[in-house]
Amino acid sequence: MMRFTLSRVLPGRAVGLLLCGLLLCGCLRFGSTGSELTPAQSPHGAHVEVQAAEPVAGELLAARDEGLVLLAERRVVLVPFSALRAPSTIEGVVRLRPFTTPSMQDRERLRLLSRFPGGIPEGYLAQLLGDAGQTEIAVLR
């Protein structure tokens, strides 16, 4: 019975090159790391710039199934996905398309980029709204 070994299938030099190549690949990094994401460096959410009826920029407080809750210019606003007028990319991780709700996987990524991945606690939301002089979240159309 004949056994197949790596040295019989590949000449010695090829085996060495193959092993070196595998070791080198193990040293390489693929994809991004947490240190490259702004939210991973601070307690704040990602900085978001989107185009609804008007341009909106601010901190991503929470991502809901219907849209993004932002702290923008000292106002708490909800930007529904259906109100997005232009494409935008958030932290190079999630691409938003106009008038389109992102996939469930992308909405989960957005949640992880927000200040409150589990949703804004009621007491804190009331405090944010009070500080902004609002009684409820402003919904942009």
User: Using CA atoms, how far apart are residues 73 and 132, in angstroms rounded to an integer?
Assistant: 9
For residue 41, name the pLDDT band (cuts at 50, 70, 90): low
Residue 63 is inside which H or E element, if any?
A: strand 55-63
User: Using CA atoms, how far apart are residues 110 and 124, in angstroms rounded to an integer?
Assistant: 20
Helix/strand/coil for 87: coil
More confident residue, 100 or 37: 100
Task: Give the pLDDT confidence of 57-99 residue by residue, as tens digits.
Answer: 999 999 999 999 999 999 999 999 999 999 998 888 899 999 9
- pLDDT score recorded for residue 91: 84
pLDDT surpassing 90 at residue 9 = no
Residue 40: Cβ-neighbour burial (10 angstroms; 0-12, 13-18, 19+): middle
**Single pTM value for the model:** 0.71
